[in-house]
Each structure stands twice: as structure tokens, then as C-alpha cells.
Amino acid sequence: MSRRVTTVELLRLADELTLTEREVVETVARFGLMTHAQVAALLPNRDDATPASRARAARRMLARLTKHKVLARLERRVGGVRAGSAGYCYYAGPTGQRLLAYWQGRGLGRGRFRPEPGRQYVRHRLAIAELYVQLHAVDADGGLELLAFDPEPACWRRLVDRMGGETILKPDAFVRLGLGAYEARYMLEVDLGSESRTVIARKLRAYLDYFDSGVEQAEHGVFPLVLLATTTETRRAALVEACTRLPAEAWALFAVTTLDQAVAVMGGLLEADAIDPNGAPS
């Protein structure tokens, strides 16, 4: 069993980490999991940097953070063994968990062992992180302003359901974008095709209940567009059909797209599938 990092060692490590390293640790912790490629894409972009040099810088940083157990990596790799170090997925390690508690003013915390997550969980968390990475890249290019990207659980909302009990609405992420003089708000649902029609219907109804509560509108003056992003055209059509089963007055709350088009849709470059009054994709 490895030795626990002492308080003195932890505080020394906190002082030694660069601002970029701290930001990487905090971002990985926010999303739960991130790949080597996703971390590399978020590193500050020097004018003389090439994709290869950025990958090397990310590899050195991740090796250092892993060595000190600030980050840890899953045993299996994305893309198989041949993916090498680029295929590793990283999460907050036991020392990283303690550092996060320290940075957030919660004392020095206690690092907890994290069991290997299931494949579906990994795919889902990485898909959410990938949307953030893509929006971050468009922001850096000046195509839009990424004002906020809050993955779960930071984006969850409390509401009173139709039976009078308190429940929690659980979007996968909440996004705010600056588009010129306008601000766009989205609640994202990343659908990988694994959930049944019953589960999808329950989720859509929860959003409608939250809209009817008026809580979001009272606090922010507007209700976000609920954007469902999925994997295939067949699944996209199924989600559109599920939305048409809601009351017609609720259709305008939802739009459907595929994951490869989600960033373009949020940036206003593409139209998502809205739900028209005839109950078909528009």
C-alpha cells in the first residue's frame, strides 16, 4: 500500500503546482474524467506551439501530476492499447482530492479510493467533456464567448414535482454563450442511445415540470433551450418523436441534434431539429 502524503508535503505540492496545472486538476475534477487529448487541447496556446509540442507538454504535465497522485488514470485506454499514452483517461487522484478541498476552503480533506467506472459512464462523461473542449476552441478562435459551462452536478436544479414532493432536475450540463450582443442559454442532455423510451419521457416531463415551476424564469428572466444531442440520425429521430408526445405548448422548450453538430447549433451556425406544431421534425 502506498504511503499517504503528509500535510507538509501536501502544502508544499500546492505551492509548487503551476497555475496551469491547478486549472487542469480543477477542470478534470469538474468533468469527472478527461482524456489526454482533451487536456492537451485546453492548455494555453503559445504562438510557436505545434500539435506535437502541445501533446508533449500535456504528456509531461500529466505524468508529473499522476506521479504525485494529484491525478490518476483508468486502467483501460480509450481507443485500445495502441493508443498509447494518448488513450489514457484521467480523474482526480487521492492527493488531488485533498488539494481540491484545500483550494475550496474545506480543509485538507481525505482522498478516497475510486473504483473503476463502467464503460457507459466513461463514454458519457467524456462526451460531455468533449463538448466543452470544442466550445473552448471556438471561443479561443473568437467565434463566440463561452460564459459558462457547468457539468453535473453543478448544473442540477431543485424543484417541486406534480405530487408536491421535492426532486432534482439533472441536466448533463448548463451552458451560457455570448453571441455578439446576445446571450444563449442551454440545458444539455447528452444521449448515447442507451436509455429506454420510458426514461427519456420521464426526463422530458421533468423539464416541463421545472418550466412550469417558474423558478428559472424568476431568477434569470429566461428559460434555457433544452438541447438533446445524440449519436445517430436514427436516434435523433426517436428523440424528436418522444418530444412530440408532450403537450404542444411544450414543444418550443426542446431541440434535438447530433453530437457532431451540437457546437455549431449552440453557436448559431446550424439549426437544430425543433418540434413543429404538426409533430414532425422541422
What amino acid occupies position 221? G
Q: What single string gives the DSSP state of each residue in 104-130?
A: TTSTT------PPPPHHHHHHHHHHHH
Helix, strand and coil content of the chain, in percent to the nearest 5, comes to 50, 20, 35
Q: What pTM value is reported for the model?
A: 0.89
Give 278's pLDDT tier (boundaries 50, 70, 90).
low
* For the chain, domain boundaries: 7-116, 121-274
Give 277's pLDDT tier (boundaries 50, 70, 90).
very low
pLDDT single digits (tens) 136-187: 999 988 889 999 999 999 999 988 766 777 889 999 999 999 998 899 999 9
Q: Does residue 96 have a pLDDT over 90? A: yes
What is the separation of C-alpha 38 from the centre of its chain, rounded to a whole number of angstroms? 12
Average pLDDT, the chain: 88
> Beta partners for 160?
166
Query: 144: how many CB neighbours lie within 10 A of its CB?
Result: 19
How many angstroms separate the CA atoms of 282 and 279, rounded?
A: 9
- Per CATH, the number for 7-116 is 1.10.10.10
pLDDT single digits (tens) 225-242: 999 999 999 999 999 999
Name the residue with cell 451552458. 175
pLDDT single digits (tens) 8-60: 999 999 999 999 999 999 999 999 999 999 999 998 876 667 777 878 888 99
Q: Does residue 5 have a pLDDT over 90? A: no
